[in-house]
């Protein structure tokens, strides 16, 4: 029997697309290469699944292409959708929304129950190798099997976290229909730096050479730096560039100088304790050429105090690259947006072929924005693929 709508990829976007296509009365299947659908959902939000952000709007993403989808399925609509299928939620700091149970498994469970209520067939261990178009629709091939469908939704994700299933195969499948990809860069990922301070955290502002900045908790690791402000900026930083850390972003340089001048007399070993983490402070002093650390603070000259203050306000970290795709949460770049109709998610190059989620050239910041895009684009693709207007 020919399926009405075949969804390739059982991630957040594909599941949502399948639900909305099936709610319109269509015969729908999900083709998933893993033994189970939704593997990445379980890893999101550190196992808590930050499934949307109440503040998400089109301007938060790399392109306004998202505007129509977000209008049709806003963060509020996503919360209501989940409530209706049995999942209560809670909004935390900065508008981040999590399931009330604090469990990503609950998100996947309620989605799977809805798929089952709608009789959506989950065909797992089906690693799509090729999609062919013929007169009445599409034939979708794995190595050993094939499925025929009138319409196809590609929801194969990007390159980030390939262990969850998204290995970039979707780009290849779509290139066969004439689609192009923009440059693919790991996003929401840690930065490898020349210097390292293992296991330290500090509040600060990170600024890139191009002037983009973000403030929050910076984590210093044995490979470099991470934390939300670093994650969000990683896609803008090229190998060999530097980022600058302001470890007292709430003070001006003059105020920092005055704070340093007023430090009680002590050895330089403890001089920055109470301002910065001890290990971080000692490394910073070393880079300022302050040695030995047994030196007394009242021997500091005015120009040395200025040097320390300048480094606290703009400490240069030379970046040797990002951590690999395994560590990235999101792919920046993807299928060219000009090749997709933003009001239907249908390919402009192939009728009845729909493309949704992270496989497209859309990415958002940390905090529930990327799942919001996955749900919203999935809902639109599913509803449109199920509509009989074509
Ligand atoms: C560790 C981690 C934590 C994250 N936390 C958050 C968070 O808290 N909040 C947030 O908003 N975002 C978060 N994200 C990002 C978010 O999870 C993704 O942007 C979103 O899941 C993308 O959904 P998708 O359906 O487009 O792709 P995916 O979720 O990647 O799903 C694609 C699916 O397609 C399948 N597939 C791929 N190729 C084939 C093929 N050839 N044949 C058959 N099946 C195939 C894959 O196995 C996979 O199941 C996180 C990401 C990671 C990695």
**Which residue, of 297, 322, 347, is where some domain finishes?**
322
Q: Is residue 328 part of a domain?
A: no
Q: Is residue 99 part of a domain?
A: yes
Residues 6+ away with beta carbon under 8 Å from 121: 3, 28, 29, 30
Domain match, 41 and 156 both: yes
Domain match, 103 and 215 both: no
Q: Is residue 259 part of a domain?
A: yes
Ligand 1 pocket test, pick from 370, 377, 378, 379 with the greatest ligand atom count within 8 Å of Cβ, gives 370
For the chain, the domain total comes to 2
Return the DSSP state at 264. Answer: P
CA dist 51 and 169 (Å) reads 25
Return the DSSP state at 203. Answer: E
SS3 233: helix
pLDDT of residue 196: 85
Atom of ligand 1 nearest to the CA of 15: 25
Spacing, Cα 276 to ligand 1 middle (Å): 37
User: Region 123-128: what's the mean pLDDT?
Assistant: 98
Q: Is residue 121 part of a domain?
A: yes
Tell me the pLDDT tens digit for each residue of 187-226.
Answer: 999 999 999 888 899 999 999 999 999 999 999 999 999 9
Q: How far is CA 21 from the centre of its chain?
A: 26
Instruction: Tell me the HSE value of 137 on the side-chain side, using a 13 A CA sphere.
Output: 17
User: The domain containing residue 260 runs over which residues?
Assistant: 191-322
Q: Is residue 327 part of a domain?
A: no
CA dist 10 and 31 (Å) reads 7
| H or E element in which residue 167 lies | none
Domain match, 9 and 141 both: yes
CA dist 347 and 344 (Å) reads 9
Atom of ligand 1 nearest to the CA of 170: 38
At 241, give phi and psi (nearest 5°).
Answer: -85, 175
With a pLDDT cut of 90, the percent of the chain lying above it is: 96
pLDDT of residue 390: 55
Q: Is residue 45 part of a domain?
A: yes
User: Region 292-321: what's the mean pLDDT?
Assistant: 97
| Helix axis angle, 302-313 to 278-287, nearest 10° | 120
Tokens of 389: 């207007």
**Which residue, of 268, 287, 322, is where some domain finishes?**
322
pLDDT of residue 36: 98
Q: How far is CA 180 from the centre of its chain?
A: 21
Spacing, Cα 30 to ligand 1 middle (Å): 15
Domain match, 29 and 172 both: yes
Domain match, 55 and 162 both: yes
Ligand 1 pocket test, pick from 169, 172, 371 with the greatest ligand atom count within 8 Å of Cβ, gives 371
Is 4:352 a contact under the CB 8 Å cutoff? no
User: Region 32-57: what's the mean pLDDT?
Assistant: 97
Q: Is residue 329 part of a domain?
A: no
Tell me the pLDDT tens digit for each residue of 309-337.
Answer: 999 999 999 999 999 999 999 999 999 99
pLDDT of residue 204: 97
Domain match, 75 and 222 both: no
Domain of residue 145, CATH code: 3.50.50.60
Tell me the pLDDT tens digit for each residue of 154-197.
Answer: 999 999 999 999 999 999 999 999 999 999 999 999 999 999 88
- Could you tell me the pTM of the whole model? 0.93
With a pLDDT cut of 70, the percent of the chain lying above it is: 99
pLDDT of residue 1: 65
Domain match, 288 and 234 both: yes
Domain match, 278 and 373 both: no
75: pLDDT strictly greater than 90: yes
Q: Quickly state the pLDDT bin for 84 (edges 50, 70, 90).
A: very high
pLDDT of residue 136: 87
Domain match, 271 and 127 both: no
SS3 359: helix
Tokens of 203: 């509040």
Atom of ligand 1 nearest to the CA of 38: 49
Q: How many CB atoms within 10 Å of residue 279? A: 13
Atom of ligand 1 nearest to the CA of 48: 8
17: pLDDT strictly greater than 90: yes
CA dist 279 and 281 (Å) reads 5
Per DSSP bridges, beta strands 121-123 and 28-31 are: parallel
Domain match, 123 and 152 both: yes
Domain match, 22 and 51 both: yes
Domain match, 154 and 22 both: yes
Based on DSSP, count helices (H) and strands (E) in the chain, helices before strands: 11, 18
Q: Quickly state the pLDDT bin for 300 (edges 50, 70, 90).
A: very high
Spacing, Cα 300 to ligand 1 middle (Å): 53
Spacing, Cα 158 to ligand 1 middle (Å): 7
Q: Is residue 227 part of a domain?
A: yes
Ligand 1 pocket test, pick from 156, 355, 361, 376 with the greatest ligand atom count within 8 Å of Cβ, gives 156
Tell me the pLDDT tens digit for each residue of 93-122.
Answer: 999 999 999 999 999 999 999 999 999 999
What is the overall mean pLDDT for the chain?
96
End-to-end CA distance of the chain: 21
**Which residue, of 270, 297, 322, is where some domain finishes?**
322
């Amino acid at each position: 029997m020919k399926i009405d709508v075949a969804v390739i990829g059982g991630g957040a976007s594909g599941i949502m697309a399948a639900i909305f296509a099936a709610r319109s009365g269509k015969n729908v299947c999900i083709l998933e290469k893993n033994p189970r659908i939704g593997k990445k959902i379980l890893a999101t939000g550190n196992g808590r699944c930050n499934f949307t952000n109440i503040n998400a709007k089109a301007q938060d993403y790399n392109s306004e292409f998202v505007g129509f989808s977000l209008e049709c399925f806003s963060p509020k609509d996503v919360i209501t959708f989940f409530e209706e299928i049995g999942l209560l939620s809670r909004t935390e700091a900065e508008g981040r929304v999590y399931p009330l149970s604090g469990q990503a498994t609950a998100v996947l469970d309620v989605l799977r129950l809805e798929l089952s209520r709608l009789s959506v067939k989950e065909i797992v261990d089906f690693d799509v190798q090729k999609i062919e178009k013929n007169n009445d629709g599409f034939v979708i091939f794995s190595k050993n099997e094939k499925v025929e469908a009138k319409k196809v939704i590609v929801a194969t994700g990007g390159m980030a976290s390939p262990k969850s299933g998204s290995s970039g195969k979707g780009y290849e499948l779509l290139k066969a229909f004439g689609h192009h990809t923009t440059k693919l860069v790991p996003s929401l990922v840690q930065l490898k730096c020349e210097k390292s301070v293992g296991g330290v955290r500090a509040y600060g502002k990170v600024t890139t050479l191009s002037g983009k900045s973000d403030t929050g908790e910076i984590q210093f690791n044995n490979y470099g730096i991470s934390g939300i402000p670093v994650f969000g900026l990683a896609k803008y930083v090229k190998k060999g560039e530097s980022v600058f850390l302001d470890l007292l972003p709430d003070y001006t340089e003059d105020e920092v100088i005055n704070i340093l001048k007023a430090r009680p007399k002590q050895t330089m070993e403890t001089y920055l304790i109470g301002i910065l983490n001890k290990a971080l402070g000692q490394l910073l002093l070393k880079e300022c050429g302050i040695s030995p650390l047994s030196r007394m603070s009242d021997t500091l000259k005015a120009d040395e105090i200025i040097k320390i203050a300048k480094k606290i306000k703009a400490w240069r970290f030379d970046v040797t690259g990002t951590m690999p795709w395994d560590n990235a949460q999101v792919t920046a770049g993807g299928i060219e947006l000009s090749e997709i109709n933003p009001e239907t998610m249908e390919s402009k190059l192939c009728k009845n072929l729909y493309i949704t989620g992270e496989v497209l050239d859309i990415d958002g910041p940390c905090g529930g924005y990327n799942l919001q895009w996955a749900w919203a684009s999935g809902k639109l693709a599913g509803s449109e693929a199920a509509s009989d207007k074509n």
